[in-house]
Amino acid sequence: MKFSFELIKKDSSARLGRATTPHGSFTTPVFMPVGTKGSVKGITPHELKEMGVEIILSNTYHLYLRPGHKLVKELGGLHGFMNWQGPILTDSGGFQVFSLCKLRKITEEGVQFSSHLDGTRYALTPESAIEIQEALGADIIMPLDECTPYPAGREYTVESMNLTHRWARRCKDAKTANGQALFGIVQGGMYEDLRKESARALVDMDFDGYSIGGLSVGEEKGLMKDMVAATVAHLPQDKPRYLMGVGTPEDLVYAVEMGVDMFDCVMPTRNARNGTLFTRFGKLVIKNAQYEKDPQPIDGECGCYTCRNFSRAYLRHLFMAGEMLAPRLNTIHNLYYYTSLMRQMRQAIGDGTFDEFKKQFHGQRQEAALLGD
């Protein structure tokens, strides 16, 4: 089965859609939990399915270094290896090379880098990035790109963008697995005209979908929003749009309003491990002393396993005691919250009430801020 995407309905620019892959379908807008090394930290595939997760993300760089893409292929591909039978998206590993590897050299051919694990030298080319992802067997794969750093001058940004375009063409030419979808990655730094140029160049190459890369790398929120809007305006209506590595619940609501379909971010899982929980009223920091004797759940209207069974006082105790259960229960809640948020947005788009949803979403946060909650 080949990848396909159907745009079901629009509410202004917000979009309701359905993507079909060799391992099932998922509805958009969608949030993909990050399973960097073939595992969403502390959460089983069964628990992910129970909370309504339809697609997850894994990382090419980490799986390439350990345990190796050839071993994963021998053991049934990533789906069989981690026992997740739903859709999987893998990124190319480019971002990790540029963010984790201090010793790296970028050339026209690709990038040479030292492993963050043991210093071993490796080379990653557009062709090898595709080869690795085809061995992993993901349903949606990404081309190798250079994630333009922030800040970056215009001259460097132009060179980086054009290199990403040349690598994208090589990745498309190298792809052999017909069942996998390949998304192009739009770069262009913080320059609206370059974002437009990059989007148009990639659309001309005719990818299965389009990713917006190079954002949430240190720029202010207003600038990120400007770049999202500047990019989406030049992407086709009949292909999915994926905003990479973003973000907060507020970011997701804004980007869906602009017409973005897919998201991933470590924020819900990483924050959970650090004791920060997401609710409809904003963030709740469970280690705060005010929750020591609090018998309430994290959120009284949340239907997750954690909120149905445990109090804030108990969760604070677990976190302060360093119990292994603390990050698990926190992660279950945060991922459920993100999944529920996307489900609510899909429902609102389907009902034609996205504007009302957005006003309620922001209103609850403003009310909680005024009350000091």
pLDDT > 80? residue 322: yes
Question: What is the rounded average pLDDT of the residues 84-111?
Answer: 88
- Which segments of the chain are extended strands (E)? 4-11, 14-21, 24-28, 30-32, 56-59, 88-91, 104-106, 111-114, 121-124, 140-141, 181-186, 209-212, 241-243, 262-264, 276-279, 282-285
pLDDT given at position 187: 98
The reply to whether omega before 236 is within 30° of 0 (cis) is: no
Determine the 3-state secondary structure of 57 from DSSP: strand
Residues 6+ apart with CB under 8 A from 72: 38, 63, 78, 81, 135, 136, 137
Residues 354 and 253 occupy one common structural domain = no
Interval 337-357: pLDDT, tens? 999 999 999 999 999 999 999
Question: What is residue 373's predicted lDDT score, i.e. its pLDDT?
Answer: 57
* pLDDT bracket for residue 101 (50, 70, 90): low
261 and 342, same domain (yes or no)? no
Q: Determine the pLDDT at residue 71.
A: 98
The total number of structural domains that make up the chain:
2
Nearest to 343 by CA among 93, 6, 64, 29: 29
Strand, coil or helix: what is 192? helix
124 and 42 belong to one structural domain: yes
The predicted structure's pLDDT at residue 117 = 87
Average pLDDT over residues 287-309: 98
Provide the domain limits for residue 362. Answer: 272-371
Query: Which residue has 């595939």 as its token pair?
Result: 45
Statement to judge: residues 254 and 282 lie in one domain:
no
What pLDDT does 113 receive? 86
| Torsion region of 83: left, alpha or beta (phi above 0 gives left; psi -120 to 50 gives alpha) | left
Secondary structure of residue 113 in the 3-state scheme: strand
Residue 372 binned pLDDT confidence (cut-offs 50, 70, 90)? low
| 326 and 226 in a common domain | no
Among 236, 265, 294, the domain-final residue is 265
User: How high is the mean pLDDT of the chain?
Assistant: 96
pLDDT of 47: 98
**Alpha-carbon span 129 to 139, nearest angstrom:** 15
32 and 147 in a single domain? The answer is: yes
- For residues 190 and 224, state if they share a domain: yes
Same domain, 203 and 185: yes
Predicted local distance difference test score (pLDDT) of residue 178: 86
Domain boundary among 265, 296, 315: 265
Q: Using the predicted structure, report yes or no on whether residue 183 has a pLDDT greater than 80.
A: yes
Tokens (6 digits) for 11: 């509410």
- Is pLDDT of 29 > 70? yes
Residues 206 and 335 in one domain: no
pLDDT tops 80 at residue 193? yes
Range name among 102-116, 252-266, 273-287 with the lowest pLDDT average: 102-116
Note whether 194 and 165 are same-domain residues. Answer: yes
Burial letters 206-227, b for 16+ CB under 10 A, else e = ebbbbbbbbbbbebeeeebbeb
**Residues 175 and 280 reside in one and the same domain:** no
- Coil vs helix vs strand at 211: strand
Average pLDDT over every residue of 241-249? 97
- Residues 277-283, mean pLDDT to the nearest whole number: 97
Tell me what pLDDT residue 98 has.
74
- Could you give the CA distance from residue 116 to residue 120 in angstroms, rounded to a whole number? 8
Percentage of the chain beyond pLDDT 90 is 90
Active site residues: 91, 264
The pLDDT, as a whole number, for residue 220 is 97
Three-class SS of residue 339?
A: helix
Domain boundary among 250, 265, 280: 265
Q: Does 240 share its domain with 301?
A: no
